Amino acid sequence: MHSFIFIFLTILTLTPPALTGSRRWQPPLGSPSPEAKHQLDKRWMTINLPGTAAAARLDPRPWPNREITYCFADKTAKSKLKTALKKAMDLWYSGGLTNDYTIVEGSSHVCSSEDSRREVLMISYGDKLSTYVGYPDKNSRLVTDLGKGAYATWTDRKDIGMLSVVPNIAHELGHAWGLYHEHQNPYFWSSAYLADGGGGSVFGPGNNNWNCENLADYDKFADGKEISPGGGLPHQHYTRDQMCRSYRVASAANFSAAEYLPMAPYQAHTPMSIAADARMVDWDSIMIYPSGAGAKKGLDPPEETDGVKDDRLSILEKPPLDGEEGDMQRIPKNIIPSSGDIEAMNKLYGSVRVEKKGLLHERGSTKEKFKKAFLGSKDSSSCV
């Protein structure tokens, strides 16, 4: 308990101007109340839990032994991303994740062996952020037909996502462990508006807080697109409006709306079975997009957080809580996993056996080690 309190006090005193999070920097200091825990149990969305009927299909699995073994695709990826990856995992520890969850770099033999390819997360360097969610089933097409395993493309760009490299990769690590986007939970979206919605009242036309037209690639699809989305949808010309309404259509069109729209309920596990309101969203989750992610520029005046300006327009916005009055608010840049994120991880990995193992790197509680782990160098934490 003393170490948690120290980290909390250190965060309050050392919060750097360069990092862009606007949520309270406060790791969980105790167990949530029964009422709070009930809410947490209702909201998270992960790959299907082991042992469930849905998981009997060739769905991704949790990582064995609560350990991700990773490899870098080449020297460039390693030099650009290795330090940020370790710091990103430290953000998960700071949020309350226990150290029986580990990430370990594979040996040169493991990383070069075709036989062990499906056992590792292969990380490439690029100009975007994309990560396979979870650990692929051994009988999945990814393994049997393509001979591959989990994969990721990460970047050190500071002009996307949360406008900070380490939090961006921490978000991607959440995917690698098996978490989906908080905002794509179908029970948060209006079923009358989106085929994959669950009748929720958080996002959709009733609130006018889904601004598809503000996506950076929106104008690219001015005349729609001829696509064959599958999933029971016919081959036809789909308009831009249809691509702004359906996750499946947007995915087939390679339109960034697919990163926002609700996933079909069968695609992921969520304990929710009822439509949800704004109180059931984890607005502090590192797995929810800030309002400006993927948006066109043009916000005037720009949003300023800790001295960092963000001039991106809003895609999704936070509505007033039920019973409250007020305007829509921008969703903040959450740079540390929330207690809800940790709850989701623990639920997903609750049945995964853990063997005794060592940590990838030492973690201390001194002020200097904290600064090295979380603040980083100017190159990795400043924003433009």
Please report, for the chain, the start and end positions of each structural domain, with discontinuous segments joined by +: 2-184+337-381
Q: What angle do CA 40, 166, 97 make, to 5 degrees?
A: 35
How would you write the pLDDT of the chain (384 residues) with one tens digit per residue? 444 434 333 433 333 322 222 222 222 223 333 333 334 444 578 888 777 766 667 789 999 999 999 999 999 999 999 999 999 999 999 999 999 999 999 999 999 998 888 899 999 999 999 999 999 988 888 887 788 899 999 999 999 999 999 999 999 999 999 999 999 988 888 875 555 666 778 887 667 899 999 999 999 998 888 887 666 677 888 899 889 988 888 988 999 999 999 887 777 777 665 667 888 899 999 999 999 999 999 999 988 877 788 999 999 999 987 656 778 899 999 999 999 999 999 999 998 877 765 444 333 333 333 333 333 322 222 222
For every residue of 304-344, DSSP letters joined together read EETTEEE-BPPSBEEPPPTT-----EEPP---S--HHHHHH
C-alpha neighbours within 13 Å on the C-beta side of residue 220 = 13
Structure tokens at 242: 């249809």
Note whether 217 and 235 are within 8 A (CB): no
pTM as predicted: 0.80
Q: How far, in Å, CA of 204 to CA of 223, rounded? A: 23
Residue 237, H or E segment: strand 236-238
Residue 10, H or E segment: helix 2-14
**Taking Cα atoms as reference points, which of 376, 373, 358 lies closest to residue 89?**
373
